[in-house]
Amino acid sequence: MIELRHAGKTYQQGSREVRALRDVSFVIKKGEFISIMGPSGSGKSTLLNLMGGLDQPTSGEVFIDGRPLHGITDNELTLIRRRRVGYIFQFFNLLPLLTAEENVGLPLLLDGLPFSEVKPRAADLLDKVGLRQRAEHRPEQLSGGEMQRVAIARALITGPAVILADEPTGNLDSHTSEEIFLLLKSFNDQGQTIVMVTHDPKAAAYGTRIITLKDGAPDQDIVIGGDNP
Ligand SMILES: Nc1ncnc2c1ncn2[C@@H]1O[C@H](COP(=O)(O)OP(=O)(O)OP(=O)(O)O)[C@@H](O)[C@H]1O
Ligand SMILES: [Mg+2]
């Protein structure tokens, strides 16, 4: 599903080199729910950005659905990012002038589908995240938890190979956070592959596998239970 082969990332800061990731290799299988943990600066966001093609490694290779993210055109990369990867961010990243329904449908609208086709699919997903009554609301009219539900629906609408979530509850209270984790878990139970960065050990326990990073490399890689593929 997603594979990293000796992926590394070095940032150039003036004359100084920052090795954010060093020689990381692993495979994410279909249906896994991976929690990525580790101290601040250990490379979690960098790793997630490489997995989703938001950033390129300075060494090694990344594959999604068996297809390399290197040696392809910008246009091909844009299409893979839009169609095969769903992103969820700490600060939701919704467009303020669009309704919940339009935000959810945006990846398909950008892909050229007519609104008449997108609207029922967006409505169905809003229903699945418990926001059927909020379709016409703008982000400013929604709570933080509701905004993150809209973002989750938006991430799911293309039927992506993987959902990548970077501290998806970093901006939410503990009760709302738990609701978001349960929602992600319910989509994982239906087969959705998810990779989630979190600081919270309780959140990480929703995963089927926990990878901890230390100084830009995996430190521990633990599969939880025995029933995941
Ligand atoms: N654009 C950049 N330019 C230079 N250095 C960067 C850049 N992005 C990240 N870094 C550095 O790379 C290292 C890893 O950063 P990264 O954001 O991946 O860590 P993180 O584990 O997500 O941290 P946090 O928990 O604080 O979000 C850090 O030392 C960081 O300062
Ligand atoms: Mg980070």
Judge contact between 86 and 158, C-beta under 8 A: yes
Segment 156-161 mean pLDDT: 96
> 41 alpha carbon to ligand 1 midpoint, in Å?
5
Residue 224's pLDDT is 87
Residues with C-beta atoms within 5 A of ion ligand 2: 44-45
Region 69-75 average pLDDT: 93
Note the pLDDT of residue 67.
92
Would you kindly state where each structural domain of the chain is located, as residue ranges?
2-223
Question: How many H helices and E strands in the chain?
Answer: 7, 10
pLDDT digits (tens, 9 = 90+) for 135-151: 999 999 999 999 999 99
CATH architecture of 2-223: 3-Layer(aba) Sandwich (3.40)
Q: Is the CB of 190 within 6 Å of ligand 1? A: no
Residue 107 scores a pLDDT above 70: yes
- Between CA 169 and CA 74, with CA 158 as vertex, the angle to 5 degrees is 95
Least confident of 32-36, 124-128, 204-208: 204-208
**Residue 19 banded pLDDT, cuts 50, 70, 90:** very high
Q: What is the pLDDT of residue 229?
A: 47
Write the residue with the smallest CA distance to atom 28 of ligand 1: 41
Which atom of ligand 1 is nearest the CA belonging to 21? 14
